[in-house]
Amino acid sequence: MAFVFKPVVTRTRDGRKIRRRSRYFWADYIDPASGESKRHVLTLPSGERIGNREVAESELRRLLLNRQRLAAGLTNQYIDAAGTPIRKLAADWLRHLHRKRTKSGRALSRKHLRESRRAVRLLGTAGAQNVADLQPTLIEKLIATLAHLGKSPKTITEYRGRLNALCVFAVREGRLESNPVAATTSAGTNPTRSRRALAPDEAAALLAIAGGRALWYETALLTGLRVGEMKALTWGDTELDSLTPCIRLRAETTKAGRADVIPLKSTLADALRKARPDGWKAESRVFATTPTLATFFRDCGRAGIEYKPKGGSIVDRHSLRKTFITWLSVAGVAPRTAQKLARHTDLKLTMRVYTDDRLLDGVSEVEKLPDMATLPTPEPMKLRATGTDNARPVVPGVVLKSGEQAGNATHGRNDEGGEIAVSTPPCASKHDLTEAEKMEPTGFEPATSWLQTRRSPN
């Protein structure tokens, strides 16, 4: 069963709830293609809502016919959606973003929604009118236009991410068969900005001229907190009176959405303890204001820090976090510990991106290598001749029975009266050698035992 109706809408005005009938028609029907019950507002192909009952019933019949054809395999939903205006698709997507929640349960920020609307307006300037116009060539043309206008790689990547989210939503809703943004290349849109870390003398100069902002800079340098985390930091997040002073970050204030504990250097804990007002409240902010980027640049200029060189690495507020992580490596902190203090899930991010190689003292580290001239020289190994290289093997004595002939061998006497062959002269024939004398050792293998063994009668 399918029908159109005008739902009752409840609005609040001057603190009072007012119930009134909507001006636009909605549809209530069973989808023939999926079998699900659906209820939504009826719109024309242009995206305009319908306020006339006759037009609404006609649009509902057309919608049901298309869904029946789709269920029977006589039509393609992507072909039907190709004529949908970009404006309608964008409106549905923005409504989806308004209802969407982050991992911590909060709604998306106003900045996120504002940047999403700006990305949609870019599609209109690029000539996209309908869903069918969302092609990889259009996305690449738009990215090239942004690069031509001098937009930074980070800005271009943000716009590309917004358009990708729009197309992912369209694919999930069955209006696009594939994501056109995923088919484009992201070359030249690396979001990583080249930053450098501050040397200790530069950091000292910055703190000396910062005035009331010195504690903000010192906290960022010695904890690695991000700008947003510094803004949300409250006195209730700090433990300054315990044996191990630390900051306990709440999950909703961190970038990764997880709670973390940051140990504090004793000097920083003392400075925060002195700055804490009497009668402080747990929900009070530690820093009432946050230095803007322009203020930070002015402070760097007064401190003699080259913060924006041409073609080089820049220094901004996020560089203070990179400085913290780089100083950990300079101090000899283990990489795994540095990763934990930086609150990174990937060690490569800590070592490659957030560690400034220019501050690492490679000269002094190389001097720690051993001096080759002072190393002791090992004595050469002396090898015993085994009879391999034309050397006469040392043949052990063989006990002979009394009365046996032993050729020209020299004999001795044992305790039992028998003779012992001591050596065989070079002129001795092969037939005069005993069985033990015929065995010649080879290489470094041990000589075969000369003891007589019982042989088989065969």
Q: Which residues pair with 249 in a beta bridge?
A: 260
CB 432 within 8 A of CB 407: yes
Q: Give the contacts of 453 (CB within 8 A, at least 6 positions apart).
A: none
Longest CA pairwise span in the chain (Å): 139
Strands 8-13 and 37-41: unpaired
pLDDT, residue 401, reads: 47
- Rounded to whole angstroms, the Cα distance separating 280 from 286 reads 10
Contact 135, 181 (CB under 8 A): no
CB contact burial 134-143 (16+ within 10 A = b; e otherwise): beeebbeebb
Q: Residue 20: what residue type?
A: R
pLDDT score, position 456 = 52
Contacts of 399 (CB under 8 A, 6+ apart): 414, 418, 419, 420
DSSP state of 286: S
> Cα separations (Å) of 241 from 41, 216, 274, 289?
59, 20, 12, 24
What local confidence, expressed as pLDDT, does residue 387 receive? Answer: 56
Burial of 61 (0-12, 13-18, 19+ CB in 10 A): exposed
**Can you tell me whether residue 223 is helix, strand or coil?**
helix
Residues 6+ positions from 114 with CB-CB distance below 8 Å: none
The size of the chain, in residues, is 458
Q: What are the per-10-residue average pLDDT scores of the chain (458 residues)? A: 88 82 92 86 82 92 85 73 85 87 70 86 84 87 85 84 90 86 64 79 94 94 94 94 92 87 93 93 93 94 86 87 93 92 91 84 73 72 58 50 46 49 48 51 49 50
pLDDT at 400: 45
- pLDDT confidence of residue 305: 92
pLDDT of residue 294: 92
Sequence-distant (≥ 6) Cβ neighbours of residue 100 within 8 angstroms: 107, 108
pLDDT of residue 72: 78
Residue 350 · residue 325 · CB < 8 Å: yes
Residue with tokens 């204030």: 253
Give the per-residue pLDDT at 423: 46
CA distances 160 to 88, 89, 102, 146, Å, are: 20, 17, 20, 10
With 0-12 / 13-18 / 19 or more C-beta atoms within 10 angstroms meaning exposed / middle / buried, residue 313 is middle
Contacts of 132 (CB under 8 A, 6+ apart): 82, 83
Cα separation, 433 vs 40, in Å, equals 112
